[in-house]
């Protein structure tokens, strides 16, 4: 009888141990989820604007960019012109890499921050007017694309249906 009681106690202790382990595992998953959510809300990280290139390299002529900025009567137009004329931007194309959110990095000067905000606002207009060279570096070819507007968001697709850029229609009103 004593052996049966001992086995019974051992089984109960193992079940209790497994149950405690399961509770700790669930607690760990919950804490990890909460920790991940707080990292997304971290205010010390760069300020992301809702505009992403997904798969392709984008190139914009500086002149086309400035024409659209002028036509939209961007208030900081002169500041952006002087920034783009500086030695830092002494090339004819602006490059937007794939798979990276267009962001305003911390510590930028006011002119550079205005440039990033204007770039995100103007890029859909440039894409709609087909003033952006989209280049697939794997195939070494220019890429054709089309766009759709849905509930204030604009989506640009490659001809094969792959989403390559998305944005709100306008962030500057």
Report pLDDT digits (tens) over 26-82. Answer: 766 665 555 544 333 333 333 333 444 556 677 778 888 888 888 878 777 787 787
**pLDDT tens digits along 101-119:** 555 556 666 777 777 777 7
User: Residue 42: its pLDDT value, please?
Assistant: 36
Torsion of CA 54, 55, 57, 58, to 10 degrees: -50
Q: Residue 131: is its pLDDT beyond 60?
A: yes
DSSP 60-71: EEHHHHHHHHHH
pLDDT tens digits, one per residue of 143-156: 788 888 887 778 88
State residue 108's pLDDT score: 61
pLDDT of residue 72: 78
- Alpha carbon distance 139, 150 (integer Å): 30
pLDDT in the model for residue 47: 35
Identify which has the larger pLDDT, 25 or 94: 94
Does 97 score more than 70 pLDDT?
A: no
Write phi, then psi, for 148 (nearest 5 degrees).
-135, 145
């Amino acid at each position: 009888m004593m052996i049966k009681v001992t086995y019974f106690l051992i089984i109960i202790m193992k079940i209790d141990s497994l149950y405690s382990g399961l509770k700790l595992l669930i607690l760990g998953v919950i804490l990890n989820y909460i920790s991940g959510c707080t990292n997304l809300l971290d205010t010390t990280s760069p300020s992301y604007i809702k505009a992403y290139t997904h798969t392709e390299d984008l190139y914009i002529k500086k002149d086309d960019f400035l024409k659209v900025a002028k036509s939209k009567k961007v208030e900081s137009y002169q500041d952006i012109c002087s920034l783009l004329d500086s030695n830092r931007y002494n090339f004819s194309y602006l490059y937007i890499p794939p798979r990276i959110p267009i962001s305003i990095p911390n510590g930028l000067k006011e002119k550079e921050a205005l440039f990033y905000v204007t770039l995100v606002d103007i890029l859909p207009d440039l894409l709609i007017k087909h003033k952006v060279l989209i280049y697939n570096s794997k195939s070494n070819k220019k890429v054709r694309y089309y766009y759709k507007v849905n509930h204030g968001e604009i989506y640009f697709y490659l001809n094969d249906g792959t989403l390559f850029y998305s944005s709100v229609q306008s962030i500057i009103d």
